[in-house]
Structure formats: structure tokens, C-alpha cells
Chains A and B, each alone.
Chain A
Amino acid sequence: MEHSLIGKRIQRKEDYRFLTGAGQYTDDVELPKQTFAAFVRSPHAHARLKSVNVEKAKKAPGVLAVYTGQDLADAKVGGLPCGWLITDVKGQPMKEPPYPVLAQGKVRHVGERVAVVIAETLEQARDAAERVEVDYEVLPAVVDAATAGRKPGIHEIAPDNTCYVWALGDKAAVDAAFSKASHVTTLEFVNNRLVPNAIEPRSANAAYSRADDGYTLYVANQNPHVERLLMTAFVLGLPESKVRVVAPDVGGGFGSKIYLYPEDHAVTWAAKKLNRPVKWTAERSESFLSDAHGRDHVTRAELALDKDGKFLAMRVKTTANLGAYLSTFASCIPTILYATLLAGQYTTPAIYCEVTAVFTNTAPVDAYRGAGRPEATYVVERLVETAAREMKMDPAELRRKNFIRQFPYQTPVALLYDTGDYEATLKAAQDLADVSNYEKRRAESLKRGKLRGLGYACYIEACGIAPSNIAGALGARAGLFEAGEIRVHPTGTVTVFTGSHAHGQGHETTFAQVVADRLGLPIEKVEVVHGDTSKILFGMGTYGSRSIAVGGTAIVKALDKVIAKGRKIAAHLLEAGEQDIEYENGTFKVAGTDRQKSFAEVAFAAYVPHNYPLDKLEPGLNENAFYDPTNFTFPAGSYVCEVEVDKETGATQIASFVAVDDFGKIINPMIVEGQVHGGLAQGIGQALTECTRYDSDGQLLTGSFSDYAIPRATDVPSFGLDTRETPCTHNPLGVKGCGEAGAIGAPAAVMNAITDALGVKDLAMPATSHTVWKKLQEKNHARV
């Protein structure tokens, strides 16, 4: 196409409203006769509820109602379901303990909801919540994942606190390969628990109308149809047709707003009871206590190599902390989205991974940006870098020696990579990072009293989880397709309805680029609508970097139908055969002639069908499509990080960070770069600053932005980015997805750089100044 919009840095359509304060986030929605909810939360990690006395709270000024778990049980409100069934090594289903909306008999983590108070004002609700009297019988807390299996069970159904023991790979082949190895590298580490901390706290505002017995729920959520499906079918027992879920502007998600949360259900249920809208918005301290956290693995990993550095096998044993309850997709993160990625970019022929998932008295753990793939990349890339150092080989060369170079490639852990060029991204990253002059920079740093280190990470991720039938066979309880609709208006403008949901990703721009490009229309003629179940035909939402690859393809398929019908209409108008009609640059033409009709003329004919083949064709120009991918997409890339460590204080600064990614075809490079920047900052946060600590009683010690350090502007550098492109082979746009890459690749790159700087084998994340300083002291003492 002459003026292709693909690959153009088009400024975002959504920016004007955000820059002028006109965004509409859930807490900004104020409904007529609005009421406000405050939740009474457990101060104990594990306790029996001896009594919950709400009488004083009910009498407090402005209070409309106070509900407890008993009220919900009496009303037969169900618990929250888990969306993925994992089958364990013995063929048994995972343990699925009830996850109540409000606590039933027991509380299992600090911040669990015991009661909800609803009042005329937020202040009244909060004041009254203080007057709910709960008598707790405190029980010992299970906090440490590694030892949870030996502690008394926190759920009746799982007396050993074990949800499942699951494995992937050929154990016998791996053991045999290890017995022949000339070198084995072993690492034991913790992948630190993270709190996602989207800057918009979770929020839900539910209304009920007696006029039509219908509910409307505004909620900060990444997948409103999934929320509606699970809420209506499993929790509240309502017809989906009576529930509208709107996820309006959403202020960041990073996974944490995928899930069903008890608060959403409590306010929806209460809205009918009170016949008034009920709004709840988390305070940040509630977010820390009750949003689903991420990561939290304890892992022992081994890599077997031959004398030349060829990888022979990998063996990984992980204990994954699921927290107190099974969050919506918790079970598939440390399994399906983790062990399958352990081949990385390499030809390792045999891999075995065993995962024990445990319950503890901590906040539930689920997908957080990257979801299993950062954990896998950390395992692979820390092992590879460590092996190179132990074998005195160049870490980049060791990677090259083991790169997959022929595609498609079947890994020993179930994935079929369709395409990639790992050499290209590694070479480009080394060039951009000026690795050849690294020694000069190291010497210069040393003169200033700084230890410099360089670390690589070559990651792969699997995005756009699919296809539905295979996912179903692996335990998924939901489909993994996406839906899109193209509504052409009579004057030739277009509204695109997508089941994907944007909460920062810029879909209103990127999807409009795709549509305007394919139709040959100015982008101003295309609007994108998302996030409202009353407008969108269906949607699985946005997570796992799936929006462009799955949602974008659904849109393309609907566009193909629009163009196909347009050709039929144009053939009639131009009195030509349909086979002779070409569509190009917004015009239907009779091939080889100057006879043509514009897109707008064809659209007009479809809606004012005076001269129209009514006997053969329906009026209107409105098409939809569902797309279920045949495979994952496999973005990959190479990251190079250099750090400087202050020998006296342990303070560590990122001196430079280079990321070269292969996302396949790129629609809007400006938006893609933004996604990478954000992912890198979160990955650097995991490596350097973000530390979630529970004490032995299960109290969260890092429950505010004063204690839990998400990166500030001075903690991260400006990034050096580049891309290489091997188009995805199984979707029409050739796209792979870019949302999580930075968070997946960065932690290993940073930790490889720091361990290089310190000359140590391993160091715990986050590498705070204190952690680094302690390690330096240990090393110095060891030397004396």
C-alpha cells in the first residue's frame, strides 16, 4: 500500500482525554443515589472467627447495611472459582479450597475481608467499619513456602498445604544426561514476591435496576467479559444477559486486574439488596494486602554441559507460593506458563521440571507482568551465565553455541517455536551496548572506586496463549480466542469493537492503525471501542501480551469479511463481475479500468440500498470475527545490562541498559518502545528495589510505598532500544506481542551484571544496597 500506516509513530488518540483530566476511571464514576463501601479486614494471618458483632456498626451515622460471611452464605453466594485445573503427577486434580467473598469461619491472610459496611458517605462507611467487633482465635501462621508442606494445613482439603505436585519433561532422559555431563552448574535461589502496584487502585461500582432486574458493574479490570462470565455463572448465579460489566479507563493492570476479586462481588450483590449503587475503591494499603501478588518461587536449578559447553540437560525443582487462596489463574502460572519456557533460546535436548505449589497465610499469588516467563528466564539465564563463568567461557559465545537456529523448532517442554533469529538480536545488542569496549569502561569505573559488571539475558516468551482446545486439554476452563467487530457507518466512517482491553497499551491507536491501513482510510475515520460488555460482542481481554496477536487478528478477519462484502456491493454498482473488483487505497475498482467506487459510496449503498442486489445480499456493512490462534507467538530478545557498584556502600546503579527485541511486525514503534520501557523498569524493580516481606506471623512488613520500593525516576536509566524482525508465521499481521518482554528479560540481565561486578556466584533479589554491601563484606572476610 502506498501510504501504509503500519510501522508509523502515530501519536495516541487516547492522550487528549488523559492529559486534560477527562479520563474516566472507575472511581471517577458517580451514580445517582451513590453509596460507599468499606471492608473490615483481618489483622491476623490465620485465625478462627469466634464472633463477628456488627450491631454497633449498624447504628453508626449514615450506615445502610453491614454484611458478613454469614449473610452471603445465607444468600447462597458462591466462592470464587479458579480458571485452570492442574492435574498432578499422580493424575489427581489439584486441591481447590473454597475462596469465599467474605470470610467463612476462618481468615487465612492479613487483609482478608470479614465484613462490608455500606453507608451514605465513604467517611461514614470507614468510621463504622471501625465499630465492627470481631473476636479472633489466632492460629499459627504458615508463611514460608519452602517449609509450608511440613506445617499444619490452612485448608481442610489440603492438610499438607500442597495444592499440587506437577512435573513436565522426561526425567529419565534428564538423569541419564546429567550422569554423563562433564560440567554441572547448580543454583538455588528465590524469585522474589512482587506487588504489582498499578497506580490506579482497584475499584468497583455496582448498580442495580429493579426496572429491568439488571446490574451494571463498573470495575477496574482487564477482561470484563471474563469477569462477567465467572461472576454470573459461579458466584452470584445470575443470567449473563442481566449483567453489564464496564471496565472504563483503567490505570494500569500488569495482570493484577485480570482476576475476580471478592470486593467486586460483594458490591454487586449489595447493590440489589440496597437497591442503590455501591462503590468501593481500594486504599493503597488495601492494594498491598489484597491484590494478587506475583512470582514467589524457591528454586533449585541445574544445567548439565559437555566439555565444549553444549547444553545436555536441565533439571529444575521449584516450590511456588500460591498464597492463601487460588486466585483466578494462579494454578497455571508456575506450571503451564513456567516450565514450558525452560528451553529458552537453546537446543537443550532434555529438560525436567517439578513444581510443588503450596498454600500459605499470605495474599494470593497470580500472574504479574510476564507470569511464569520471568521466573523461567531467570532460571535459564542465571544458569547459562553462571555456567559460562565456571567454565571460563564468554557468556555470549556459550549462548551462541547453544542457540536454536532452525525453525520451526520443537522443544522438549511442549512448545513449537515458529520463528526467530536469536543471533541477530544478540549481535545487535552487543553492538548497541558497545560490548567490545567494555573493558575500558570497567577500568575507568574502577578508577572512581566503582565495581562495574556486565550481564546478558537472552529471553524467549510465549504470548497469546492458545489454541483453546489444547489449553483446554491442559486444564484451562476458559476459551483463549478473541472477538472483533467492524461496524461501517453509512457515511464510511468505522467503529471497531474489540474484546481486547487497553489499560495503557494504546489500543485505540494501534488497532485504528491496523484498520485504517487495511481499509485505506484516514485514521481519523476509525474509532476503537473496548471494555463494555453491552457494546462488545465478546472478549477474553488483555493479558499475556495477546492483544495485537489475537485481538488484532480477530479484527483483521472481520475486516476481510467487510472487504469481501464491499466487493460484492461494488460489483453490483459498477456492473462488473465480483472477481474483477479490486480493493486498494479506500477504493473498489474494476481491474484494468478507471471505473471505481469509494469505500464511503459502497457503505452508503449498503445502508441506503436503492441500487443494491437485495435478492442476493443483505443490506448493511457490519461484520464480526472470532479468532482462535493455532499456536503461541514467540517474541524473543537479547538484553545487555551494565551496572556500577559502590564498593563502600553497596549502592548499585544501572550504568546502561540495552534491549534488542524481536516482536515480529511492529504496528506503532513509539507505543512498542513505551511498552518495553515500562517492562524494563518493572524488571529492574524486581532485581534492585522491590521486596515483599511478611514476618513469621504473616504480617506484611512492606505494605506501603514508603516500605515497598517501586522504582522512582532516579532508579532507572534511559534505555537503549532496537528491534529485529522475524514475522510470526501463523497470524496475518506477522505480530508477536510486546507487553511483557522487558519484565521477563531484565531481572536476569541485571543480576548477571551485579554478580559479575562483585565476582560472586549468586545474590538474592532485590539487590538493595544493604544486600550488596553484606555480600561485599562476606567476600572481603572470606579473603582475609
Chain B
Amino acid sequence: MSVKVSMKVNGQPVSAELESRTLLVTFIREHLRLTGTHVGCDTAQCGACTVLMNGKAIKSCSIVAMQAEGADILTIEGVAKPDGTLHPMQAAFKENHGLQCGFCTPGMVMNALDFAKSHPNPTDQEVREALEGNLCRCTGYHNIVKSIVAGARAMAAAK
């Protein structure tokens, strides 16, 4: 069965006829060709597919696209400024070597953006607990934690 879905992605209105079972992540990757959102597992554990839906971090593999009908979706491609300047959270990941292979990175950044809104000056432990749903196999999390602490502070300072 096909359904029509419409939503905003990175500020742009988009709509498509999709099979009703199409996952939001499939819509983002395969239909919109926004391939920065990744798929790292099939059990909603790894968090590589994390995007913001109406400002909240969600795993885009765990809802179907039509559940996002009318929503405002932000993917990693929409985070930097239009001129390409990195968002403070992205910059913090670069400055603190918070990424290696880059595969989990978009999900980490998207989760961190949501987390930082309510944690302008987080402790390491708060960050580690907030990363419950995001797996990284490269960094041992050490520098991701540093990045998110620095990024959250930079976001708060920029307000």
C-alpha cells in the first residue's frame, strides 16, 4: 500500500508517494539521498540514524516515514550554517578529535544537539548516560564525551 507523506527536512518542504512500511531513515537516505544519516544496526541500538524530529532526537530507523507526517526533520546535512561554517557542536567534535571513521558521528552530533539544549554545562557522567543509545567502536567515547561537554558550553555561550 502506498501513502503520500509530506514533511519539512532541513527547512525544505518535501513530499513523496511511499510504501507504507518505508522507514523514516529509508526515506531520508534512499528517496531524499541525504546519506549522512547512517544505518548501523537493525535493532534500534546503535543510534547512527539519529535525527531531530521537531527538535527531539529520535532514531529514524524506528519509525515509519508516515509517522513524521507534517514534522520538522533536521539531519546532519542541515546542521552547519548555509555558508558551510560548522555549528559549535560540530566544531567541538573536530577540535576534540571526537570522531575517527565518522560513521557514528552524525548520530552522535544529532543526539548531542538535543542533549545540549537541556544541559548547557554537563558533567562527563551526564554525557556518558546521554550516550546510552549511541554506539561508537572507534573512539572509546573518551573524546566524544570531551566534544559534547565543549560543544554544549559553546552552544550556551553563543545564546
Contact = CB atoms under 8 A, between A and B. Distances in A.
Interface of A: 11-12, 14-25, 27-28, 30, 123, 197-201, 249-252, 254, 281, 283-285, 503-506, 670-671, 673-674, 677-682, 704-706, 710-714, 716, 718-719, 742
Contacts of B104: 199, 251
Given A251-B103, A284-B43, A678 B86 contact: no
A681 B40 contact: no
A251 B48 CA distance: 11
A743 to B, nearest CB: 10
9 contacts: A18-B106, A198-B103, A284-B41, A673-B143, A674-B138, A678-B137, A705-B43, A706-B45, A719-B142
B109 A197 contact: no
Contact of B101 (A199, A201, A712): A199
Given A12-B97, A25-B103, A674-B143, A704 B41 contact: yes
Interface stretch (B52-60, B64-72, B126-134): B126-134
A198 B93 CA distance: 20
B141 A252 contact: no
Contact of B94 (A12, A254, A281, A719): A12
B97 A670 contact: yes
A15 B94 contact: yes
Max chain A Cβ within 10 angstroms of own Cβ: one of B40, B80, B106, B124: B40
Contact of B79 (A20, A28, A285, A505): A20
A252 B46 CA distance: 14
A678 B139 contact: yes
A718 B124 contact: yes
A400 B60 CA distance: 54
Given A200-B38, A705-B46, 17 more contacts: A18-B105, A19-B80, A20-B80, A21-B106, A23-B103, A28-B35, A123-B19, A123-B21, A249-B101, A284-B40, A671-B97, A673-B97, A673-B143, A674-B139, A677-B140, A681-B139, A713-B141
B50 interface: no
Nearest to A719: B142
Given A284-B43, A677-B140, A19 B86 contact: yes
B99 A25 contact: no
Nearest to B10: A21
Contact of B42 (A199, A285, A716): A285
Dominant SS among interface residues on chain B: loop
B99 A704 contact: no
Contact of A505 (B100, B131, B141): B100
Q: Which of B79, B104, B136 is packed against the most chain A CB atoms within 10 Å?
A: B136
Q: Is the interface of A mostly helix, strand, loop or mixed?
A: loop
B124 to A, nearest CB: 6
Most buried by A among B35, B102, B129: B102
Interface residues on chain B, size class: 35 or more
Nearest to B80: A20
B143 A677 contact: yes
A503 B141 contact: no
Contact of B142 (A23, A198, A254, A718): A718
B99 to A, nearest CB: 6
A24 B104 CA distance: 13
B43 to A, nearest CB: 5
Given A19-B94, A200-B103, A251-B102, A713 B42 contact: no
B145 A682 contact: no
B145 A710 contact: no
Interface of B: 19, 21, 29, 33-43, 45-46, 48, 75-77, 79-80, 84, 86, 90, 93-95, 97, 99-106, 109, 124, 127-129, 131-132, 134-145
A674 B104 CA distance: 15
Contacts of B129: 713-714
B140 A681 contact: yes
A21 B140 contact: no
Given A251-B102, A284-B41, A713-B141, A199 B135 contact: yes
Contacts of B35: 21, 24-25, 27-28
B19 A284 contact: no
A716 B127 CA distance: 13
B102 A677 contact: no
A19 B90 contact: yes
B95 A680 contact: no
B70 to A, nearest CB: 23
Contacts of B21: 123
Q: Which 4 A-B pairs have the closest CB atoms?
A: A21-B36, A18-B102, A251-B103, A681-B140
A749 B77 CA distance: 42
A379 B14 CA distance: 58
B99 A19 contact: yes
A198 B139 contact: no
B140 to A, nearest CB: 3
A605 to B, nearest CB: 36
A22 B138 CA distance: 19
Contacts of B127: 713
A714 B100 contact: no
Given A28-B35, A284-B40, A506-B100, A20 B128 contact: no
A745 B37 CA distance: 34
For B38, B43, B90, B101, which residue has the most chain A Cβ atoms within 10 angstroms? B101
A199 B46 contact: yes
Contact of B137 (A671, A680, A710, A713): A710
Nearest to B103: A251
Contacts of B95: 11
B103 A252 contact: yes
A30 B35 CA distance: 10
B141 A716 contact: yes
Contact of A200 (B19, B101, B109): B101
A335 B100 CA distance: 31
A23 B48 CA distance: 13
B137 A682 contact: yes
Contacts of A123: 19, 21
Contacts of B75: 21
Contacts of B41: 284, 704-705
Nearest to B35: A28
Contacts of B134: 713
A4 to B, nearest CB: 20
B90 A503 contact: no
Nearest to A717: B142
Contacts of A28: 29, 35
A21 B76 contact: yes
Contact of A504 (B29, B79, B109, B138): B138
A670 B19 CA distance: 46
Contacts of A281: 39
Contacts of B124: 718
B76 A20 contact: yes
A12 B86 CA distance: 14
Contacts of A25: 35, 38, 103
Nearest to B125: A714
A285 B139 CA distance: 23
B103 A15 contact: no
B141 A681 contact: yes
A697 B132 CA distance: 33
Given A12-B94, A18-B105, A252-B103, A201 B77 contact: no
